[in-house]
Amino acid sequence: MGISHDLYKGLLVQRPAHCWRAQKLQVPQLTSPLNTHFERWSGKKRKLFFQDETAMITQGIRSFDLANNIFANLLASPMRFERNSKMKMPKDFMIQLKLRKNQNHGNSKCLQLVPVAEHSKLRANSYVINSKHVLQQSIKAAPKWIPTPALASSMRYFRTQDVEIDKEKFLSEYENKLESLIFEILNENYKPSKPPKEWDVIVRFDQENKNTIEICQQNSAERLTNNRSRVVLFNLVTLALLKEHSMKLEKKDIVLRFPENERLIKLLYKFLAYHTHQPLNHAMVTKMT
């Protein structure tokens, strides 16, 4: 005999007046290594993601004030593949290479592989370490630096033999372009700023100091405080600058502020790192942040 419709509806809708509440069971803690040590057996590193600074503070993590830190911003640049070491590293530590039409009309090769002073998203590109010393030793392997997307393209119209690589002028042209661009920006867009604040960059031509990059403390720009601010010193004295450029720097220090002068600061860092015999790699820069 089936249950009537009204009785069935009453069982679902009505709540018994007198009943014992079911005991709430305790859920055991997750102790399986599948949950607690996922990063160990999976080969993946554990990462923390925060939407903003407020989310960090609510989790008890203090702010590291890295927004204006040049080294933190260098490390935060997108990762790219370095053609010599075959390792991935932040692209701001590398030189970008591009293919362009050969400007030597008497040459039978239709394309040239050239380094660019500033990174660009236009056309295919590849990356090599930003170090004159390393590139001088590996310049013989330059044909391997041709951008892979250009070689793998279905619309490819050239062979590797059609790409000219002027090994004698490859690095010198890059140095000249980088130096000219730096002082062009310095002459046109730079405006003298106030006394240095935290993580400002001071560019100078100090004959008594042979260090290219230093982090030191200076008196704060704020008059109401006696705190000393951390600043970054870029010393260009070790570089073989053009005479008119070195004379400009000998007159007075230049104070640059991030992010207002981000473009100029990154170009100056690239210039210094390129000429340093043992360039600052991203592991060393991490210690400076």
This prediction has a pTM of: 0.70
Could you tell me the pLDDT band of residue 83, with boundaries at 50, 70 and 90? very high
pLDDT band at 223 (very low <50, low <70, confident <90, very high): very low
Q: With 70 as the cut, is the pLDDT of residue 201 above it?
A: yes
Asked whether residue 259 carries a pLDDT value surpassing 50, the answer given is yes
pLDDT band at 127 (very low <50, low <70, confident <90, very high): very high
Least confident of 153-157, 205-209, 265-269: 153-157
**Pairing verdict, β 228-235 and 201-204:** parallel
Q: What is the pLDDT of residues 26-55, one digit of tens each?
A: 766 766 655 566 666 666 655 566 666 677
**What residues does each domain of the chain span?**
78-175, 178-288
Q: How confident is the model at residue 283 (pLDDT cuts 50, 70, 90)?
A: very low
pLDDT at 221: 54
pLDDT at res. 251: 65
How many C-beta neighbours within 10 Å does residue 113 have?
A: 20
Look at 23-37, 92-106, 142-156, 227-241 and tell me which has the smallest mean pLDDT.
23-37
Q: Give 10's pLDDT tier (boundaries 50, 70, 90).
A: low
Percent of the chain topping pLDDT 70: 66
pLDDT, the chain, mean? 77
Q: What is the 3-state secondary structure (H, E, C) of the chain?
A: CCCCHHHHHHHHHCCCCCCCCCCCCCCCCCCCHHHHCHHHHHCCCCCCCCCCHHHHHHCCCCCCCCCCCHHHHHHCCCEEEECCCCEEEEHHHEEEEEEEECCCCCCCCCEEEEEECCCCCCCCEEEEECCHHHHHHHHHHHHHHCCHHHHHCCCCCCCHHHEECCCCCHHHHHHHHHHHHHHHHHHHCCCCCCCCCCCCEEEECCCCCCCCEEEEEEECCCCCCCCEEEEEEEECCCCCCCHHHHHHHHHCCEEECCCCCHHHHHHHHHHHHHHCCCCCCHHHHHHHC
The pLDDT of 165-182, averaged and rounded, is 89
Per-residue confidence (pLDDT) for residue 117, from 0 to 100: 92
